[in-house]
Amino acid sequence: MERVVPAESRSCQSIANAFSRLHGISLGWEGNMLHQSTGLEFNSKGYLVNFDAWSRDFAEILARENGVELTDCHWRIIDFLRDYYTEYGIAPEPRIIIKSLSKEISPNTTCTRRNLEGMFAGGGCKLACKIAGLPDCHCPPI
């Protein structure tokens, strides 16, 4: 009998499978939660529950799974998100990211929310927070 995986769990499962292949370990999959021994557990929205379980390898895999090739600009945003979360305990709103990193993200043009959304494909701000390993985000609609 084939086990049906809920639609919201599929992306997490594919991430788990890619992570397993990359590191040569078996993660096991149970609903929305990866096997406890790995420390990789996702909430119902698909965000990593344990902020400290994040790694750059995890970010690369998740980005690839979502059609994003991480550049230096992406890493500046990811590092900013993680640093901000570490300091304040919440994810920054896009306007804070843009204000803080505008010259670094897009030195030749004015950095806007749309530029930020474009860097992380269709997932925009939410995908950036997921890739950065934040447990949630504050991304109002454009």
Mean pLDDT of all residues in 5-31: 47
**Does residue 114 sit within a domain?**
yes
With a cut of 70, say whether residue 77 has pLDDT above it: yes
CA angle at residue 60 from 57 to 64, to 5 degrees?
Answer: 145
Residue of 23 and 105 predicted with greater confidence: 105
Residue of 117 and 128 predicted with greater confidence: 128
**Does residue 126 sit within a domain?**
yes
**Does residue 137 sit within a domain?**
no
- Residue 129 in contact with residue 136, Cβ under 8 Å? yes
Q: Is the whole model's pTM more than 0.75, yes or no?
A: no
Residue of 94 and 114 predicted with greater confidence: 94
Tell me which residue of 78, 62, 67, 72 sits closest to 125, measured CA to CA: 78
CA separation for the pair 11, 18 (Å, rounded): 11
- Residue 12 in contact with residue 20, Cβ under 8 Å? no
Residue of 108 and 4 predicted with greater confidence: 108
Question: For residue range 21-70, what is the model confidence (pLDDT) as tens digits?
Answer: 554 444 443 333 333 434 578 888 888 999 999 999 999 988 998 899 99
92 and 54 in one domain?
Answer: no
With a cut of 60, say whether residue 1 has pLDDT above it: no
**Does residue 1 sit within a domain?**
no
Residue of 95 and 21 predicted with greater confidence: 95
Per-chain mean pLDDT for the chain: 74
Q: For residue 131, count CB atoms less than 10 angstroms from its CB and return exposed for 0-12, middle for 13-18, buried for 19 or more.
A: buried
60 and 79 in one domain?
Answer: no
**Does residue 139 sit within a domain?**
no
139 included as an active-site residue? no
Active-site residue identified among 111, 129, 137, 139 = 137
**Does residue 96 sit within a domain?**
yes
84 and 116 in one domain?
Answer: yes
The domain total for the chain is: 2
Residue of 16 and 98 predicted with greater confidence: 98
Range of the domain at 78: 72-131
Which distant-in-sequence residues (6+ apart) come within 8 Å of 22 by Cβ? 57, 61
